[in-house]
Amino acid sequence: MQIILFLIFILLTLLVVVSKRNEFSKNSKIIITLFVTILTVGIYFYTSTQENSAEKNREIVNSFKQGKTLICKKYKVSNKRFIYVSGTQTFVPKNSETTLEGVIVRVSTCKEE
């Protein structure tokens, strides 16, 4: 993703610089280039954050599937008492756990014990 963003940035910068002199003033070119730069940097940091978050969530789910106990807010989540729902990336209690009925725990709130 970062490579595509970099190429888009280069392309837009070249288009602004190469455009006819009469179409954009020097100040307009600078403003457009700064805007594209800020937008590209923002997108880069957003995608990096999302990738890091997704990797952390995968590690937590793998730990859960390996039978490790997780600490999720005030709950201790293990595969003996909870099941993982991949569509919503949450842990929900098994039907046999009546004391935890209605509890839904997001993967992003968990860490290994």
> Are 84 and 64 spatial neighbours (Cβ–Cβ below 8 Å)?
yes
Query: Reduced to 3 states, what is the DSSP secondary structure of residue 30?
Result: helix
* Residues 101 and 89 both lie in one domain: yes
Q: How far apart are CA 79 and CA 63, in angstroms?
A: 10
pTM over 0.85: no
* Residues 36 and 49 both lie in one domain: yes
Reply yes or no on whether the pLDDT at 15 is more than 90: no
Q: How far apart are CA 98 and CA 24, in angstroms?
A: 68
pLDDT, greater one: 110 or 4? 110
45-89 pLDDT, tens per residue? 888 899 999 999 999 999 999 999 999 989 999 999 999 999 999
> Are 60 and 111 spatial neighbours (Cβ–Cβ below 8 Å)?
yes
Residues 6+ apart with CB under 8 A from 89: 57, 61, 106, 107, 108
* Residues 108 and 86 both lie in one domain: yes
Question: Residue 20 has what pLDDT?
Answer: 62
* Residues 44 and 58 both lie in one domain: yes
Q: How many structural domains comprise the chain?
A: 2
* Residues 55 and 32 both lie in one domain: yes
* Residues 37 and 84 both lie in one domain: no
User: What is the extent of the structural domain holding 101?
Assistant: 68-113
Q: How far apart are CA 61 and CA 55, in angstroms?
A: 10
* Residues 82 and 58 both lie in one domain: no
